[in-house]
Every structure is written in C-alpha cells, then in structure tokens.
Structure 1
Amino acid sequence: HYELSVLSNETTLWELGRGAMGITYHAVDINLGSPVALKVISARYSGNARARERFRREARTAAQLRHPNVATVFHFGETSAGQCFYAMELVEGETLEARIRRDGALPVLAVLEVAEQVARALAAAEKHGLVHRDLKPSNIMLVASDADTADGLTVKVIDFGLAKAVAAAEDKSNQTHVSFSGTPGFASPEQLASDPADAALDVRSDIYSLGVTLWYLLCGKMPFAGRTLKEFRDQQLRELPVEQLAPAKVPAPLIGLLRSMLATDPAKRPQSARELLTELRYCREAIEARPRRLKFAALAATVLLAISGISLTSYFSYHQYVNRRTSSKAPVVPEKSIAVLPFENLSNDREDVFFADGIQDDVLTKLAKIADLKVISRTSVMQYRGDRSMRQIGDALRVSHVLEGSVRKTGAWLHINVQLIDTRTDMHVWAEQYDRDLKEVFAIQSEIAQKVGQQLHAKISPAEKLAIERPPTADFTAFDLYSRAKNLVLEWSYRMSSKDNLPRAADLLNQALGHDPTFFQAHCQLAWIHDQLYALGFDRTPGRLELADAAIQAAFRIRPDGGEAHLARAGHLYRGYRDFDGALTELETAGKTLPNDARLFELKAYIERRRPGGNEEEALRDFERAIDRDPRNFLLLQQISLSYDHLRRYREEKSVFDRMLAINPNDVETKVDRAFVELDWKADTRPLHQTIDSMRVTNPSTMASIAGSRLLCALAERDPAAAKDALIALGDTPLNDDVVQFTRPFLKGLIARMMHDDEQARSAFSAVRGDQEKTIQAQPNYSPRLCVLGLIDAALGRKEEALREAKRAVELLPVEKDALSGIAMIKYLAMVAAWAGDKDLACEQLAIASRRPGSVSYGELKLMPFWDPLRGDPRFEKIVASLAPK
C-alpha cells in the first residue's frame, strides 16, 4: 500500500527522522499517489501480538483527532516482518528542535504563538481523552503559514498516542535513562515518578512538557539536566533556574506562566488546555501592553471590544425585546407577553408551599423556552403573592397576560387550578382544572405551558415543544429540594445579610442530586452557586472551581445541547477564569434555546464592564435589556446603580435607587445607599448621617445590616466613638470596598491610626498580620488579600514589603485582565504607596485610577482617613479637585 521514497541515486532511503521509538520516512501512498510520513516502530516495541494490538488501539484513537495543529494519522499496518507502522500527514517543514539548533532561540512573541497553537492541539486531544506523553521540540513541526499569522508560523504536533503504547511495551523493571520510553528532560514529575503508561496521567503532564519546550525555545536549553531518571527527578524539586532566561530578556508575565506550567504538583499547573490558553492570552496581552501608555492601551482595547462584539450584539438584537429602548414614550406592551404568578398553596401542610412554587417555576421555565413569547423572569413575579390587581401587575411588568393558579396536594392526589387573564381588560382568557394522581404532576406542567402558548397564538417550534414536554426530574423529593434551593437563591443578594443563602442552597441541591443524579437543572444551579462563592471571595480555592466544573460536566453529560448548561459554563468561564471571550461564545449558544432568560444579558453586562478597556455604557444597555425581562429584580437594579457609580454619574445613580424604593419602599439598605451617593458626589455626610439616625429611632433592629455604612460615615466625619460603635455592630462581618475586604482587627488599627494613636495602631496591625499572611498562603494569587497585607505592612513601617505586595496585586490582576478590578488594584497600590511614604508613586497611580471608571470618588478622597498621608500635596489636591462636582 505504501512505497518508500528514495533519493535520485536510488541508494539511500529518504529518512525524515529517527529516535528511540523508531524511524520516520518520506513515503508515497501508491493508491492515491500522495506523499505521507511513514513511522516504522522499532521491533523491540512491537515484537509480540499483544504489543501490536496495543499500537493498533492507540493509532485508532489518535486517528480520531482532527485539528489544524495536529498531524493527522490515517493508517496503521504491519510489515511482512511483523513491525508496526502508521502513516500520517506529511508536514512540509522542520521540527522546532532543528530550527533552534540552526538559528538559536525564538523571539518571545513567536514562542507565545507556538505555545497557543500547541495548547489548541492539546485542547482538541483532551476532548478525545488523549495525552501525548512525549511532547518536545522534536515532536512539534514548524511550517510556513498559508494564513498570515502574527509570526508567520503554523505548528503541528506529531506522534500523538505513540508514547503510551511504547511505555506499556517497555520492561518496567528497567526504568533507566537508556530504557525510558519518553524524553526525561521534557517529562513531567509524575511521568518520572511512576509507570509512564499509567492511565492517571492527564493533560497537565503535557502542559508541564510544553513548559519545558517553551523554556528550550527561549534559551536553547532545558531547565533541568541529569544522567539518570533520579537525577532528573531531584532537579525538578529544586528552584527553577530563571537566570537561564536572562539573556533572552524574558518578561515577567511569561516567567510567571512558566513557573505555573512547571509546578511539581500538577494541581498547581493550569488544570486544562483551555485554562492554559486563557493564561497565554493574558500573558500576551500583558507583554504587548507593557510598552504602551495606559490610556492608549485602553483606547485600543475599546476599539477591539467594539469590533469583536459585533457578532454577539447582532445575535442578541435578533430578539424583538432587545430593540425596545427606554424612552420618554410609554413602552408598548407586546400582545404575546406573560407573567406566571406564584401559585397559591391550598394544602393543609404549609411546607407544600415549596411544592406549589416548584410547579409555578417549571411552568414559567417551559414557557420561557418559546422565542415567540415575552416571559417575565421569576425574580420579578414572586413578589406578587396574595391579593393583587391584575391591571397593576400588567402595568408594572409590562405584560398583556398573567397566569395564576392554585395547588392542593392531598395524599397521592393532586388538584391544580389555573387561569389565564388579560391584564388590560381583567377578562379570563382560559381556565383549566386538573385532578390527577401526584405522579402526573410533571405531565400537567407541560400541558399547562402548551395550552398557554396556544392561547397566546405563539409559534412553537418542534425543538421548543420537545423542551416543554421534557420533565425536570422523575423524583418528587428531588423536585421539592430543588424548589427550596431556588427560593433561597431568589432571596439572595450581594449584601452580606444574605450570604448564608448560597451554602444552604448548595446543600439542598446536593441532597436533590442524591435522589436524582440526572437532575439537569439542579447541576446547573449548583455550578452557579459554586462559581458565585468563588467570585465573591467566600472560597477562592481551586477546589471550589473544581466543584463548579464537575457540576457543569455532569450537566453536559445529561443534556449536551442544554442552554442552561451553556449558560452555566459561561458563568464559570467568567467568574472562575476571566475568560471573557469564551464566556461570550457560550452565551451566544445558550441564547438559542433560552430566548427569554434575563441572565444572558445580565452576564453579558458583567463581561462588558470587565473586558480589557471596560465598557460600562454597553454594560448599562445590557442591564436594561435584562430588566425588560425582569423589571423588579433588585439585584439587577443594584448592578445598574453600581455602573452609574463607576461612571460617577451620581444623579442617575440616585434615580435607580428611587426605582428600587418604588418596588420596596421599606428597604433599609437601599435608603442608606441612596444617602451615601451624596457623600461620594459632594463630600456631604449629612444625608447619610440623618438617614442612619432616623433608622436608629424608627427601626433599631436594622443597625447591624447597615453597620458598614455607619462605619464609613463615622470615618468620614472623624468620629472615633461612632466608628467604634459601628465596629461593634459590624461583628465579624468584613467591610467591603470594591473587591477588598477589611476584617474587624484591621479596622481597629485603622481607627487608631485615624486618632493618631500610633501605639494602638501598631499593636492592632501587628496582631492581624499573621492571620492575613495565612489567608494569602491559602490563596496566594488572590490580589485583594495582598492589598490588605500591603496596607498592614505599610502601617508597620515595612515599606519594601508593602510596595512589593501591592505591586504584586496589580501584576496578578492588571486592567488588561479585568478592567474593573484592575483599577481597584491600582487604587490600592496608590493607597499602600501613600501609607509607605512614596508620594510620587501614590499620586501617579491615583491619577490613573481617578481617570477610569471605578470607585474613586471626590467624597472618598476629600474625607476618608485612608488618604491622609497625601493631604497638602499639590498633585493629590489637583486629583481631588478634578473629581469635585461641576
């Protein structure tokens, strides 16, 4: 079937390369007349039938891998002498090893280009369960690119799957440098420490080998050397010889990434090829941004954002409700619009309210699958329990119809009554009663949704019909636990007063999944909770992300095309990895089956304001689009107010708080937040002070929930007695500022510092330093914790340590990685520098933070003791004046 090519003198075979595993030849497929690369495996690895079957199996797996950065395997066979061979794509080019030997080290950006292409190959292999096991420069081909890439290079990885078969064929009792089947200098610690054929090896082993390969490309040598496997293992446990990279002037972001890839513990490396790709993108952005001034980098990122956002924006604009903009005219209420109100529980058991809520929620969820309808989200409708005016509800939610109902559960029997009402006329459009066995509850929910769709003359596609008919679960206990968990999530907000809701909800969902492991929606909701706990800093450990990832993977196994699974993955990429582009791609997929889900626009808004360059204006538009589907969602309105705060558009921020108070006039925290606007805007503490005093008289039980605002007011007014009272009320709840959290012991030191009690301040900061260091040891890459440690060290006179910690926080979370949190890190670098006495650095960084959307405000700089070390400096006073109300 294949002929080997020979040179013109017909005496020497055209050999492409050779190694311990075998020899690769240039060959011709005699059937097609096309050139191929033919790998003939050494006889010592394929000398028996079992070994040959192993090679056949590995080749079959490798042949399934089709990717532009992988040399495709398309045939496996045996020679007449019993030697195994396989044919693969002939790559016209040279190996990376040959390139380095000929021309020396590659430029940094070329190395990153190679790394990204190999990482894409590994990501494709990961989907097929393939681990290369012998990734090195001689197994990576470099060819001239047809497409004009950034560096004119195209990479193709060869020999996928071969190393595992070779390793299994080795004599396990003779694992010396000579008999080791891979390449010790490029092998991961886990390869050298165990059987190289061990199935426990995963993509993280290949990531380590790629790290060594990148090192070789940068300096022409490997980081570790040895004559035996033991010597290599010992070398890997030592500190990386970073000095080898000095001649190449390798930038710090790339050195940091190499340290991560070459971690001895696989758990400390990027955990997937996709995660590695994300880190590579961040690394490239950081390196390319270094020579530019920040304002030009921000401008370029904004332009790129506008260009790259066209596709997604076009998709979201497809749905009619996106085109409804806030205007002076009364909004048109669509004819095909509906709100599903909470179903009344008529059972004697009050606990059955969760069962009734679950039925209402599932009917709403099914209706929301219909793209031809506008369906209001559950967050907004759950506020309408009990007596209600249908006209008022229609006006408030901007819908033409509502569905109300009641549920009575008696033993194994179920009675459900539903009514569809036109809110404009208060007329009943349709009503139905269902008296059936409890086992039929899920079928009833589907029937109701289909009937309502028909009554509203909605077009229902076959896929939407299938989604409506699909039951959420077959287990009633699981359904009840899931409904209880969703109610807890519904009551949750970013405020500390509801922080316990998420862990409690996670516990209920895990119980539900114990009853029904195939409960798709429970897995998706659980993933969201784990990601939220990680993102908010309650648990920043890799284990929390792994729990979220496990829930998402379970959801995809159950329903690979489920929109909720894609939405969960979008949130996971955003909250866990800041992979904004990946999250937007998942959102676009989710939107195809979740046409009414406000969460899509909500998440897109979060991404827009954090992407490089930051786009708070676009975020506001997306938040308003979400509000169109969820008009009484307090959390969404909180986020809109926050965006206006970042933009320092305080008048509009106050109007959002007015919208919130129109929904809930007695919400204490909203009243306080509204009064706080005057402090930020005009450096006026009087409205906030008066609001707090009023609460103390009329509703003293609320003092704990607003203790954080009380403390900030006291600090702004330089009132130590009030500050100490607020600190007592705050208890163990941390004070939040941006993403930074201040604990009670730190705040004691801050109050003492404000009072110029140096001895008490030093004592407090000394006491808290050890605890802060422990939190950083547990989460070493969490920038907000480093900011706090920087302030502590600055207060203790440890200037160098303080500045190093604050600069590290900025390095870990730059604006190129997260526009919003990155600016917060710059603000805190300025604050640490001020405390450490470096006024030049402080004013330089504060000037940057004050020009970008963020939390730096006129009132904060004018009044807060954090900035006292800069008072009187003309540069600082100029920054303060630039933020004063105009």
Structure 2
Amino acid sequence: MIGQTISHYKIIEKLGGGGMGVVYKAEDTKLKRLVALKFLPPELTRDEEAKERFIHEAQAAAALDHPNICDIHEIGETEEGQLFIVMAYYAGETLKKQMARGKLQVAEVIDIAIQVAQGLAKAHEHGMTHRDIKPANIMVTSEGAAKIVDFGLAKLAGQVQLTKAGTTLGTAAYMSPEQTHGQDVDHRADIWAFGVVLYEMLTGQLPFKGEYEQAIIYSILNETPHPIASLRANVPPELERIVNLCLAKKATDRYQQMTELLADLRALKQSLEYGASQRSLAGSAQPPRKLAYLYGAGVVVLALLVGYVVFIPKTPTIDRKSIAVLPFSNLSESKEDEYFSDGITEDVITQLTKIADLKVISRTSVMQYKGVDKNIPDIGKKLDVATVLEGSVRRAGNQVRIAAQLIDTHDEGLLWAETYDKEMADIFVIQSEIAVQIAMALKVKLSSPEKKQIEKKPTGNITAYDYYLKGREYYYRHYREAYEMAGGFFVKALELDSTFALAYAGLADVCAQRESADSAITLSRRAIAMDARLPEAYRSLGLAYYYKGWMQKSLEASLHAIRLNANHFPAIVNVGWVLIETNPVEALPWFKKAFMLDPTTATSASAIGTAYMVLGDEANAEKWFKQSIEIAPDYWRNYLKLWQLYSRGGRYDAAKEIEQKLLANAPNYLQATGLSYLLDHNYVQAKEYYEKTVSIDPKFRSLDLAYFYKKTGKEGEAQKIFDLFTKRCQANIERGNERYWPRYDMARISAALNRKAEAYEWLQKAIDAGWIEYRWGMTDPLLENLHNDKRFRQMMAHVKAKVDQMRQQVEMMEQR
C-alpha cells in the first residue's frame, strides 16, 4: 500500500501491526499533516460482527479528548470496503521499544505511569475499558508524552457485547485472571494490565511467564510474582505496594478506581521529590535505618498530605477559608431528638471537610459549645477560624426545618443565611446545599469531584439514616455499654438498607473498640465494597488494622482515607499514632495538623507532647502536656503523661507532685504510685498501693505487679502473671502484630527471670520494630538484671544516637 492514496491520505510507510489491524504513516493531503491510518485486516471485514466492533472502537475512542490518549480524527472505508481509522501521528516510539533498550530510571517509570493512569482514568470515567493495555499500545513521543493507542477492544458500558463468550482478545501476559476465563470484564482488568506494565518497566521482565499461552495463564492464576525488591534494589517500597495492589488475583482486592491508583502515584512522586529536597537541605543526615521501611510504604511526607503547615505558625494569622460548625439547636418538641440535631451538625461538618480548600474544625472541638451562650469573636480566636455556622433543627413527623447562618467571627457580620422547610427525604439535599452555599460565600475552590461527593446520598432509606444517627450518638459516649447500644442501632440501619456503607463503617468502629478486630476488618471491607470512595470506611479499616498491630496496613488505609478527604480528622489522628511507634519525626506534623483541626481537645495537645517526649525533647513535651492540662484540668490521663515524662527524665520530685494531682483526679489509679516506689526499690510502700489496686480490681494484672511479687517472695504469683503475658505476647507476634510492645514485654519477662540471652534477643527485636524509649529502658525495674551489662549500655547508646538524630531533624524543620 506504500505510495497509494486512500481518500485524501497518501500512504508513506508501514508503522506496525497487531491482532486488530495494520498501521501506516500517511499524509493528510487536505490539511497537510502527518497521520496514522489503521486498517482492519481484510479477512475480518467480511465478518459483520468484527466490523461492528471496529466501528464502535472508533466511536468510543473519538469521544475521548485527553493528552494521554491518541487523538482519533475520523473513520473511513476504502473502495474495496476495508475500514480504517485516521489517528494522530506521533514522532517517537512505543514503550515496548523503549524498554527493549534497557531498564528505565525509577523517576521515568513513575512519570510514564502517571501519564498512562491519567489517560485510563479519563477512559474509565466515560465508561470505557481498553482491555489490551501493554507496552506496544503505549506510545512515548519525542517530547516524553505518553499516549495510549489502539482502543481496539474498548467498549462503552452498556452497549452491545462485542466479544463472543470465551474469546480472549488481550495479549496473554497482560491479561487479568478474569480475562483468562473469557469472562465479562470491567475497568479493573485495565488496572491489572497496568500493574503488569509497571512491573515490567521496573524489572525488565514480566511478572507471569511461560513458554506457551496456557503456561502463562497458569502462572497468572496460580503464581505470585518475584518481589520487585529482589530484582531491583532502588525501587521505593510504596511503588512495589502499588504494583502488588494492581496485581491482586481478585478484582475486588485491587484498586477499585484508576483515580485511586493515580492519587497514590502522584503522592509517591511528590514524596520522592520532597525526600530529595530534604536530603539536599539536611546534608548527611539520614533517617534511622530500622524505621526506613515505613517512609515509602506509607507515603508519609510532611509537605504532602499534612499540608504546608508542618509546624504551628509563628505569626497569628487567621485563614479566611476556615469555619467551625457550632452544634445545631434542637427546636423539636421532643428532647429525645437531640441526637438528630447533633447528627445534622456532624453531617454538615463532614460535608464541609470534603472541600480540600477549606479548614474545618473537628466535631470534638465544637461540641463543647452545645447548650451554652456563644460569644462569636471569642470562639473565633479560640478555634482560630474566620467564620462560624450556627443553626437549628425542628422535626415534626415527616417534615424538617433547618435554619443556618454563616457569621464572621471578626465583626459578627452575617455572611449568608437560609431556612429550609422540606420533607425528611430531602435531608441530604439540605446538607449538601448548605455546604455548597458556604463554599460560594467564602469563595472557596470547590472541584467537580468534591461537589459530586457532597451531593452523594449515603442511603435512600430515611429510617435507616435515623438509626445510624442514633448509633453515632451512642458511639461518641465512649464506654462499653454505649458501644453495645451503638452497635444495635447500626445493625438496625443495615437491616433496612444492606448497602448503607456508613453504617458498616460505624459497626466496624464498634467492633474495633470491643476488641473484635477481625470483625471490624470484615465490616470495613464491606463498606469499601459498597462505596470505594468513602473515607470513613478506610479510616475504620485503618483503626482495625491498628488494633491487630498491622501497622503498615493501618498506615496505608488511613492515608487512603486522607487522600479521599484531606480534612478527615480521625484518619489524621490514626496516622499520627501509627507513626509515633515507627517514625516519630513524621508523627509530629500529623499530630500538629490534628491540633489545628481540634484545638480545644486535651488529647490533641497531649499527642504532640507524646511525640516530643519520644523524641527526647523534654521542654516541648512538658509545654504540650501542661497545655493539655489547661484544656482539661480534670482529665487524669493528662497528669499521667506528665508523670511519665518526669519519671523517665529523672525528675522525681516533680513526678511526686504530679502524682498527687493524678490521684486527686483518679483516686483508684494507684499503679503509678506503686511503680514510683518500685523504681525506688521501696517494696514496703509499693506493697500498699499494689494491694489496693488489686482489691479495687481483682482482675488487674501487669508486669510491674509480677515483678513486685517476685521481689517480695511471691514467686508463684509472679510466674502466673509472667506466663499469662508470655502467652499473650507470643500470640500477638504469631498473628503478625508488628508493634514493638509484645517484643519489649518479652524482653522484660526474660530479663526479670534472668534469662539474659533471651532478653537481649527480644530487646533487639523490639528495637528493630521501632522501640526507642531508651530512658525508660535504663530505669525499667524489670530490666534491672541487664542495667550493669556493657552490652545493654551499648544498645541503649545506639538507640539514643538514633533518637538524637531524629530530634535534630525536627529542630531543622522547625527552624525553617
């Protein structure tokens, strides 16, 4: 065909061919441009079904307009009846040819992957699945732009099925498990193939191989690819995690949307770029070796998801795009409807948090203003917000009236107000309308995806929603009986609507709090299956993983929740508590982000103090613990934290003073005082407090108590407790618990029983898992048999050096 003119296209040269046609380079003689012509093989033009498929391909591809998808100009037919598509011509080469020259740099791989993911996300958005993603179908132009070509297998969702059952059209090595069975497939088959391409770009080989097609298919269905890290040393763990998630055998276990995958790739790219800039700033400073595995795996970068405010600003400026939603007043005749007005308050907060450009104060900080006279300027200063939303709710039968007004905290000027009189069925419309109107009033950027999420109804059953609100109201009371009630209401909600994802997430949280982590994981996954873009579901999954001790999975799930909702306060807190055990340098900015969203809750201030304490910064730790006491002077745990700081720092007089305040607020919490005397080797005084503790709670058991029994001659009682804790620790470790505490407790038990070799082995395992509290280790009474050993002092010196290095990293960041 070289030299021929088809229509007004002059054929110049052959570019290549595939199962669905041959492609030629040609000149458009009318518009004087180069194009690519793809012809359907002549033997297939006689097949009406194949011809129909080809026409649908052209129509589907032509509807796309994206820089990472090949442009389609028109469809034509030769005089002999042969169909062809006219496509844009790109100077460059296929990814297949580029890869044949050698492995790509990791940065190049990520760049190409992001571009391809962007193109596929666009196609999937239009209901289109490529079904034949492979390096030969990805062009890389001379300018470095990636273009997906040959949507030869694409189809619009809901159109006529164009492939006979049992026919597999994808190249075997890139086919998903469901494709190998000839099943109907969706966009998740593209996600699988994308994972294969990504694996191949990184390693230079395919994840699933065989000498013939059936051998390849067997490998796809039954084998696990070699770990990328074993084939290439410099691949970030997070990138390997992304590939592995793409290559999950079950479609339901993969990324459910290409947009989610794309978000992870972009986050990884930003994290690597940020890490490079940090290294140039920090010079030779390096993160601790044993904690490094979570850097990539969690995509935990201070400037990434935490936002640009890493440390509390030094200048007191208030962001105009900030809001606190005060508790809506219940004006209903029934005071039992209090849960409903509180639920509306929280749901409006939730809707507003979906707007990334808006700072929204968390529920815990605003609920303190329920039922009290409100001084708007004072609230604005205390919560550091420019606006507050006040409102009221009146429910009568099937009708609801919600009044809301947006007020400027500086001058109490009214910025917006509206009253909604509607049926209960319209409650979700009211909530989304309020959020959209606030965004407009504050000139906040509201993206189309955010607006879509805001307008999404959580359930179509209003009675189920009512049960859900009751469940949440009980859950927030945070005691065992309330959790039982909450669980009952969530179950009732699900009985009425078995697709109610939020109710599954709520029930998962209840199970997690009741130490049924396995059930919580199952329920969270069910919520995700119902709504793959529900941050509450991923946060619940992260919480359940945390209770299982699966720290990396917990981190990933919580970070995913934050990618879906940057203001999701519970997930932000989850991330902080995971990182405090694995990398406190990165935990600190997450806790500070949480404090910005929740500035009047003692636990938010105390969390920052905990991070500083772990980092050995006693001055800052003391400041934040004292601030938590100022916020909640009656909450005993605030005093406990400060007591721990003083005790571990050798400030025993200050610890004794705080100990008295601790007892004043928690008269039955006597074990801290018992431990104080144990640290002083004053077993007579320790006996008084431990015996009182056991008399108050006969089930009380602790390793400190066991050690006290051992030192006072009660060897039998001590051994029972040691055996109990040994069994618990070993069970946790066998179940995959990654946290350091079961290993540290095993070290304490071994040391107390003078099994030094075991003690050192477990202590090293604890250090490898993230234990860095060397000051406690040097005073821990159960490690008494190790304290004078040279080996022990060397281990503690090594840990101290790591802590000092981490503290220096924080100081450098704070100085900037």
Q: What TM bracket, shorter-length normalisation?
A: 0.5 to 0.7
The 8 Å contact of residues 5 and 28 in structure 1, kept in 2 or not, is answered as: no
Distance 1:358 1:251, change over 3 A: closer
In 2, Cα distance between equivalents of 1:279 and 1:376: 26
Contact residue 35 and residue 86 of structure 2 kept, 8 A: yes
Q: Give CA deviations for 1:664-687 in whole Å, capped at 9, x if unaligned.
A: 443233333332232233374994
Match of 1:577 in 2: 556
Deviations 1:341-364 (A, max 9, x none): 6636784x5523324545666899
Question: Does residue 214 in structure 1 map to residue 201 in structure 2?
Answer: yes
Counterpart Cα distance in 2 of 1:374 and 1:286: 27
Displacement of 1:224: 1.4
1:77–1:85: 8 Å Cα contact kept in structure 2?
yes
CA distance in 1, matches of 2:646, 2:559: 34
Aligned to 2:339: 354
Give how far 1:218 is off. Answer: 1.5
> How far apart, CA to CA, are the structure 2 residues paired with 1:104 and 1:488?
60
User: Residue in 2 aligned with 1:51?
Assistant: 50
- Give how far 1:25 is off: 1.1
Aligned match of 1:669: 637
Cα distance change, pair 59–880 in 1 and its aligned pair in 2 (3 A): closer
CA deviation after TM superposition for structure 1 residue 637, in Å: 3.0
1:142 & 1:416 partners in 2: Cα distance? 55
The structure-2 alpha-carbon separation of the partners of 1:342 and 1:855, relative to structure 1 and needing over 3 Å to count, comes to farther
For the 8 Å contact 2:140–2:147, the answer to whether it is kept is yes
Q: CA deviation at 1:544?
A: 2.3
Alignment CA distance shift 1:27-1:726 (3 Å)? farther
Q: In structure 2, do the counterparts of structure 1 residues 728 and 644 end up closer, same or farther at CA, with 3 Å as the change threshold?
A: farther
CA contact 2:35–2:88 (8 Å) conserved in 1 = yes
Alignment match of 2:148 (pick from 127, 134, 157):
157
Partner of 1:678: 646
CA contact (8 A) 1:569 1:586 kept: no
Please provide the CA RMSD for this pair: 7.1
Amino acid at match of 1:95: T
Bigger shift: residues 766-775 or 529-538: 529-538
Match of 1:632, SS state, is: coil
> Does the C-alpha gap of structure 1 residues 765 and 88 become closer, same or farther in structure 2, counting only changes over 3 Å?
farther
Aligned to 2:735, the other structure's residue is in SS state: helix
Equivalent residues in 2 for 1:35-114 (5 A)?
A: 35-101=34-100, 103-106=101-104, 110-111=108-109, 113-114=111-112
**TM-score in terms of structure 1 length:** 0.61
Q: Give the 3-state SS of the residue equivalent to 2:204 in structure 1.
A: helix
749, 760, 775: which is aligned to 1:835? 760
1:27 aligned partner: 26
Corresponding residue SS for 1:669: helix
Q: Distance in 2 between matches of 1:11 and 1:514?
A: 66
CA distance in 2, matches of 1:369, 1:283: 22
Partner of 1:626: 597
Equivalent residue, structure 2, for 1:226: 211
- Contact 2:581–2:739, Cα closer than 8 Å, also in 1: no
Give the whole-Å Cα distance in 1 for the aligned partners of 2:582 and 2:721: 39
Deviation at 1:836, TM superposition (A): 1.6
Distance (Å, rounded) in 1 between the aligned partners of 2:130 and 2:201: 16
Which secondary structure state, in structure 1, belongs to the residue aligned with residue 368 of structure 2? Answer: coil
Equivalent residue for 2:175? 187
Structure 1 residues 386, 620: closer, same or farther in 2, change over 3 A? Answer: closer
Superimposed CA distance per residue, residues 227-261 of structure 1 (whole angstroms, 9 cap, x where no aligned partner): 342x3333345555749997876869477776665
Unaligned runs of 5+ in 2: 545-551, 808-816
Q: 2:368 aligns with which of 383, 387, 391?
A: 383
**Which segment is superposed worse, 506-515 or 642-651?**
506-515
CA–CA distance in structure 2, aligned partners of residues 371 and 22 of structure 1: 46
Letter in 1 for 2:182: D
TM-aligned CA deviation for residue 184 of structure 1: 1.9
Partner deviation per Cα, 1:370-409 (whole Å, 9 max, x = no partner)? 9999997653453356676979986995899999999887
The CA deviation string for residues 804-829 of structure 1, in whole angstroms up to 9 with x for no partner, is xxxxxxxxxxxxxxxxxxxxxxxxxx
Distance 1:85 1:478, change over 3 A: same
Equivalents in 2 of 1:639, 1:202: separation in Å? Answer: 43
Seen in structure 2, the aligned counterparts of structure 1 residues 774 and 716 have a Cα distance that, compared at 3 Å, is same
What's the CA shift for 1:610?
A: 11
Q: 1:388 to 1:259 in 2, by over 3 A?
A: closer
Counterpart amino acid of residue 59 in structure 2: R
Q: 1:550 to 1:682 in 2, by over 3 A?
A: farther
Match of 1:809 in 2: none
What is the DSSP-based 3-state SS (H/G/I as helix, E as strand, rest coil) of the residue aligned with 2:645?
Answer: helix
SS of 1:88's equivalent in the other structure is strand
- Which whole-Å CA distance do the structure 2 matches of 1:225 and 1:509 have between them? 50
Partner of 2:136: 138
CA distance in 2, matches of 1:19, 1:417: 63
Given that residues 99 and 201 in structure 2 are in contact (C-alpha distance below 8 angstroms), is that contact kept between their aligned partners in structure 1? no
Match of 1:875 among 782, 787, 794: 794
Q: Measure the CA separation in 2 of the matches of 1:171 and 1:424.
A: 67
Equivalent residue letter for 2:285: F
Structure 1 residue 205 displacement after superposition: 3.0
- Matched position secondary structure for 1:38: strand
User: In the aligned structure 2, how far is the partner of 1:481 from the partner of 1:39?
Assistant: 58
Residue 296 of structure 1 corresponds to 285
The Cα offsets for residues 400-457 of structure 1, whole Å up to 9 and x where unpaired, read as 99999998877789999999999999x9x9xx9x9999879979999x999x99xxxx
CA contact (8 A) 2:45 2:83 kept: yes
The residue type equivalent to 2:138 in the other structure is I
Number of residue pairs the alignment of both structures matches? 749
- Output aligned runs, 1:614-763, within 5 Å: 614=585, 622-623=593-594, 625-627=596-598, 631-682=599-650, 684=652, 687=655, 691=659, 695=663, 703=669
Taking a change above 3 Å as real, the CA distance of residues 504 and 652 of structure 1, as seen in their structure-2 partners, is farther
Distance 1:585 1:402 in 2: 24
Note the residue ranges of structure 1 that are not aligned, 5 or more in a row.
147-152, 327-331, 556-563, 591-596, 734-743, 777-781, 798-830
CA deviations 1:485-518 (Å, max 9, x no partner) are 45346545xxxx57975x9657756756887999
- How much has 1:36 moved relative to structure 2? 1.7
1:608 touches 1:616 (CA, 8 Å); kept in 2?
yes
* Equivalent pair of 1:361/1:378 in contact (CA under 8 Å): yes
In structure 2, give the amino acid aligned to 1:772: N
Deviates more, 1:867-876 or 1:472-481: 472-481
Q: How does 1:371-450 map to 2 (within 5 A)?
A: 378-384=363-369, 397=382
Provide the C-alpha distance between the structure 1 equivalents of 2:343 and 2:230, rounded to a whole number of angstroms. 62
Q: How many angstroms does 1:16 deviate by?
A: 0.8
Question: Cα–Cα, structure 1 residues 477 and 75, in superposed 2: closer, same or farther, change >3 Å?
Answer: same
Counterpart of 1:202 in 2: which secondary structure? helix
Aligned partner of 1:784 in structure 2 is 739
Which residue does the alignment assign to 1:560?
none
Cα distance in 2 between the residues matched to 1:422 and 1:617: 31
1:484 has 2:470 as partner: yes
Distance 2:140 2:408 in 1: 67
Counterpart position of 2:219: 235
What does 1:10-21 correspond to in 2, within 5 Å? 14-21=13-20
Contact 2:68–2:145 (CA under 8 A) maintained in structure 1: yes
Residue by residue, what CA displacement relative to the aligned partner does 1:829-885 show, whole Å, maximum 9, x if unpaired?
xx999732797x998x69xx7xxxx96362344326469657533424546887899
Structure 2 length-normalised TM: 0.65
Following superposition, the deviation at residue 748 of structure 1 comes to: 10
Secondary structure of 1:18's counterpart equals: strand
The alignment partner of 1:862 has SS state of coil
Are the equivalent residues in 1 in contact too, given 2:199–2:228 (CA < 8 A)?
no
CA distance in 2, matches of 1:240, 1:203: 19
CA distance in 2, matches of 1:794, 1:783: 18
Q: CA deviation at 1:784?
A: 3.1
2:735 alignment counterpart? 775
**1:807 alignment partner in structure 2:** none
The residue identity in structure 1 corresponding to 2:645 is V
Distance 1:726 1:18, change over 3 A: farther
Distance (whole Å) between structure 2 residues aligned to residue 689 and residue 441 of structure 1: 57
Following the alignment from structure 2 to structure 1, what is the Cα–Cα distance between the partners of residues 300 and 730?
A: 42
Aligned partner of 1:162: which letter? L
- What is the aligned partner in structure 2 of residue 859 from structure 1? 776
Contact 2:134 2:197 in 1 (8 A): yes
**Matches of 1:395 and 1:13, distance apart in 2:** 70
